[in-house]
Amino acid sequence: MWTSDIRAAVMVIAMTSRAVAADVGPVVGNPLIEVPAGRFIFGRVDGPENERPRRELEGQAFAINRTEITNRQYGLFVKETGHRTAFYANHPILGLDDHPVVGVSWGDADAFCRNYGLVLPTEQQYERAARGTQGSAFPWGDVPPGNTRANSGADVCCSGDARDGYPMTAPAVSFADGASKEGVLNLVGNVWEWTRDVYAPYEGGTAARSAGLYRVLRGGSWNSDKNHLTTTYRLAYDPEFRFSANGGFRCVRSTP
């Protein structure tokens, strides 16, 4: 155990140093981090039924925003396009410039990404970015988040708490200890992140199929308990819902 932990730590450092494999990207102040093609683990068998089965997939390379889209970045998009503002744009905490934008529907998030030639990540891209290639429990490995790796909530669903320093959202650039091996921040915690995918059972899965059309959010947020604060939890929601104080997004650029 010790040996593998030390090896893992060394790899984290090594891979983190490779986080320079990024370009500035089209979203000012939010570079795109390269995630290389290759095999990775998707899904798991020891969680909720809708996360099954666990499969090894071949993924294409893509690049993902280093941080969740911020209020400043979303505000610039609104100014440039005339798109509607985020619901909590004026909130004294949720609306801070360097905090992730919240109060956006799936359509709002999709429009932002497309405006910059990007798209929302798929669930597979999210899991590859958040779990690495080996299907880790968290972006940093398998140890629980604690108060330094993720902005999460109370022990019992679903209240925020400030044990991690933030009663609500934290700045998008925060919790460096919780970065992924590629250097992507807050893939777990802070805000749920819209994905591109329609909610449905995984291929080979046995979860019930929903009657309506829902999009999936990933990653948990500042008010999530440990059951929701995972890299595999699938939160299906009405894509038009825009009143959430803990739902945001980031974008990806897929490599053809």
Partner 1 sequence: MRPFYTLIVVTGFLLLAAGAGAEPTAPAGYRLETFNTPGAAFAGLSRDAGGLLVSDLASGRLYRRGADGKLVAFGPIFPHGLDVIGDPTGPYHVVRAGDDLVIAQGWTPVGSKEGPFDHALVALDAAGQLRVINSDFWNPFDFIVAGGSYYVVDAARNSVERVEPDGRKSTLLTFQRMGQAATALRSLSPTEFAEGNSYEADAVPVGIALHGGRLYVALFGGFPFPAGAGKIVSIPEAGDRSTPQIDVEALNAPVSIVFDKGGEMLVLEHGTYDQKDGFRKASGRLLKFNKGGRERKTILEGLTRPVSVLVWDERRIVISELGGNLYVLTRVSAR
138 vs 192, which CB is nearer to partner 1?
192
**Is 232 a residue that touches partner 1 (CB under 8 A)?**
no
Q: Residue 207 is encoded by which pair of tokens?
A: 């979860």
**Is 220 a residue that touches partner 1 (CB under 8 A)?**
yes
Minimum distance, C-beta of residue 246 to partner 1, in the bound complex (Å): 5
181 vs 250, which CB is nearer to partner 1?
250
- Chain mean position to CA 150: 12
3-state secondary structure of 77: helix
Q: Residue 174 is encoded by which pair of tokens?
A: 């925060």
Near partner 1 by CB under 8 A: residue from 246, 251, 252, 253 = 246
Q: Residue 246 is encoded by which pair of tokens?
A: 């803990």
136 vs 246, which CB is nearer to partner 1?
246
30/21 Cα distance (integer angstroms): 14
**Is 228 a residue that touches partner 1 (CB under 8 A)?**
yes
Site for partner 1 in 21-80 (CB under 8 A): 50
Near partner 1 by CB under 8 A: residue from 157, 162, 176, 198 = 157
Binding piece for partner 1, criterion CB under 8 A, among 7-15, 170-178, 179-187, 214-222 = 214-222
DSSP string covering 182-195: T----SSSSSEEEE
Q: Residue 99 is encoded by which pair of tokens?
A: 């905090």
CA distances from 82 to 27, 185, 250 (A): 17, 29, 20
Pairing of strands 252-254, 62-65: antiparallel
**Is 97 a residue that touches partner 1 (CB under 8 A)?**
no
Residues near partner 1 (CB under 8 A) are 50, 87-88, 90-92, 95, 157-160, 192, 199, 208, 210, 212, 214, 217, 220-221, 223-224, 228, 234-238, 240-247
